[in-house]
Structure 1
Amino acid sequence: MTAETLPGPVVSYGRLIPVTVHFDDLDALGLLHNARYPVMVERAWSTLWQERGFRFEGDWEAAGDFCNAVKELRISYEAPVTKPGAYAVHLWLERLGNTGLTYGFRLCSADGAVTYAHGTRVLVRLDAATLRPTSWSERFRAAGRELLRSAD
């Protein structure tokens, strides 16, 4: 099978977002540095939300749903990334609450077949003036529901 006839990446839930590992992302051993994994995930989420019309442009008052904070980050490293190139981040929502959400992620091969790391991150939506939890907008919740992983 040639590259032209390979099927595209398929996931049964969430989205697969292409990312690139660059040479300078590797550590002295030639492995993707452990701190770069969450950065790749963050960039993939930014791409996904921008595709849906959500973006942060430097103004917290105007940021709306992008005014949020990380409450928890968990990551497990399964296999080393040993070279630069094309990879992907598989993203989905595990839970979408009133003021918080939990998303799942995998840093994987470009086709989604090989998992290098996986984890979850909990976000809390904040009011820009008080920095207290506040509700996600209905627009954001509608976009988020499309990414929810079903219980089955």
Structure 2
Amino acid sequence: MTAEALAVPAEPAPSHGRLVPVTVHFDDLDALGLLHNARYPVMVERAWSALWHERGLSFEGDWAAAGDFCNAVKEFTITYDAPVKRPGAYAVSLWLERLGRTGLTYGFRFCSADGSLTYAHGTRVLVRLDPATLRPAPWSERFRALGQDLLRPRG
């Protein structure tokens, strides 16, 4: 049975979130020719970085200047639904589950380029930090505005 046959079909395209293209390269595969489990989170992070950069937010490497990028991962969960068995074009579906005062939870699906097949899914919890104290700090109003269309509707 092929990986495509094992992949979990996607739910109908959500009205929230965004499908971001990613590329799996030959060197992302493990010794068995499967996408290495540690590469999924890297690809998800790259997709988020590309999405925020496209929206005008970028990280320059300075904690004090990082703004909303001064954050830390509190929790990361992932479920591997089916193996990715070849390099090529794929996508990551991204959305915000919750956008709190100092924290947020985002959801993701690592999927086929068109979003029709799911290979892995999960969530990640981030906490915005004050660069001087490394204590929780509120997200900026700009960040909140830029993330509104990514929020999953409640109810």
| Same fold at TM > 0.5 | yes
Residue 89 of structure 1 is matched in structure 2 by: 92
Range moving further from structure 2, 138-147 or 106-115: 138-147
2:16/2:149 contact within 8 Å kept: no
Map 1:1-150 to 2 at 5 A.
Answer: 11-150=14-153
Structure 2, gaps ≥5 residues long:
1-12
Q: Offset at 1:75?
A: 0.2
2:16/2:150 contact within 8 Å kept: yes
Q: Offset at 1:13?
A: 1.9
With the length of structure 1 as denominator, give the TM-score of the two structures.
0.92
1:11/1:112 contact within 8 Å kept: no
Runs of 4+ in 1 over 4 A off after TM superposition: none
Question: Secondary structure of 1:60's partner?
Answer: coil
Q: Which amino acid aligns with 1:147?
A: L
With the length of structure 2 as denominator, give the TM-score of the two structures.
0.90
Paired with 2:40 and 2:60, the residues of 1 have a C-alpha distance of 24
Q: Which amino acid aligns with 1:126?
A: L
CA gap 1:96/1:69 in 2 versus in 1, 3 angstroms: same
Question: Secondary structure of 2:119's partner?
Answer: strand
Paired with 2:98 and 2:14, the residues of 1 have a C-alpha distance of 18
1:14/1:91 contact within 8 Å kept: yes
Paired with 1:112 and 1:142, the residues of 2 have a C-alpha distance of 26
The alignment covers a number of residue pairs equal to 143
Q: Offset at 1:145?
A: 1.4
Q: Offset at 1:11?
A: 4.3
Paired with 2:143 and 2:18, the residues of 1 have a C-alpha distance of 16
Structure 1, gaps ≥5 residues long:
1-9
Paired with 1:127 and 1:12, the residues of 2 have a C-alpha distance of 33
Q: What is the RMSD computed on CA atoms of the aligned residues? A: 0.8
State percent identity of aligned pairs.
80
Residue 4 of structure 1 is matched in structure 2 by: none
Paired with 2:24 and 2:51, the residues of 1 have a C-alpha distance of 18
